[in-house]
Chains A and B, each alone.
Chain A
């Protein structure tokens, strides 16, 4: 296949686009400049608009000397689990950067569909990808690492919780939390809010751990959280409770 894209600007208008391409390759563009870049690029489909970025990538590769750090196996597994396996998932592009509320609603519908129709691992698969998209869309989201507890089920807990006060959404990521039998017990998240008494934290939702591998669980806060200060996971009776006796605290994370 022959490439017919042009690499040299032919006039002042194209030169302005090349300026944006240069900036994009070196420092990135702010939203306004990015919009201008996209508008101008759309007007010049015959220009190779990636040529500066390609040159920068080639320079990076040259200086890397071919030496790369090996990606941790756990991360490879997480990326593989969140990868699409059907072509329509790619064209749907559900994880585009400018996700709107309706985009999240659509994803929730997709997740619900997967829950009903797909094998169990797909649930983890999409939550993990949704978490990545969430972090992209919510740059001010706050993160805290889980602390293991003395509870027998909480001694090996690791992972983190991310929470966006702006959107009131977040995700928990766990490893080392034992799988539970939903008919016998379930996990429940509690969100401590600086604007509420510690005795009445916000119910963050009931959930199950269904895998020994890393699992991502979306937070489902029942009430608005003013200022989250701490997240706690307890073991409760199936269906969860309104007020926890806090007898089995298996994970804690302070913001």
Chain B
């Protein structure tokens, strides 16, 4: 039985590699509407697999063993979260989209034209058009015609966010400095 501490850290490495492979295959092949459900499912299953494998290889006899398990699980979860966040923030997010547009459409390399492309011609701009339906569907916000009203669930989230703004001196967040 291998007892060296570093070898125990290979478990999260394997877990993360499987997470990436499963996530990529799911998104590439099935193109799900809501990939994060799959990401969450894979992450939880792989955490369970890591915990079971760790316990089978290294029984939790000492506090160091338990700490090793916690460390493995946290590192694995962090790496999965980093991939997940990169997927949404960089590939799908706002700044990534701006850079993507500028890189692929030279005609948009002007501030006003770029802004117009986001404003669009419809009722909602491109940013709100992506987010409002999700906020309404998720029960965070009510929409009646052109008026939005915060629902109790949204109040809780907004109060928590506002508290984070204050505690960590983030200004008003939302990517605006």
Indicate, yes or no, whether A interacts with B.
no
